[in-house]
Amino acid sequence: MPNHLRVSITVSIEDLTEFESRLIRWISSSDFVEIPWSTKRAAEAFKVEEEEVYQALASLTTKVPENIQIFYEDGSIRIAADLPS
CATH number of the domain at 30, please.
1.10.10.10
Neighbour tally for 37: CB within 10 Å:
21
3-state class (DSSP) for residue 33: coil
Q: What pLDDT is stored for residue 60 in this prediction?
A: 96
Tens-digit pLDDT profile for residues 45-85: 999 999 999 999 999 999 999 999 999 999 999 999 999 87
- Give Cβ neighbours of residue 49 (< 8 Å, ≥ 6 apart): 43
* pLDDT in the model for residue 5: 54
Rounded Cα distance between 63 and 68, Å, is 10
Domain of residue 48: give its range.
3-81
Instruction: State which amino acid sits at residue 78.
Output: R
Could you give the number of structural domains in the chain?
Answer: 1
- What is the phi/psi pair of residue 82, to 5°? -120, 150
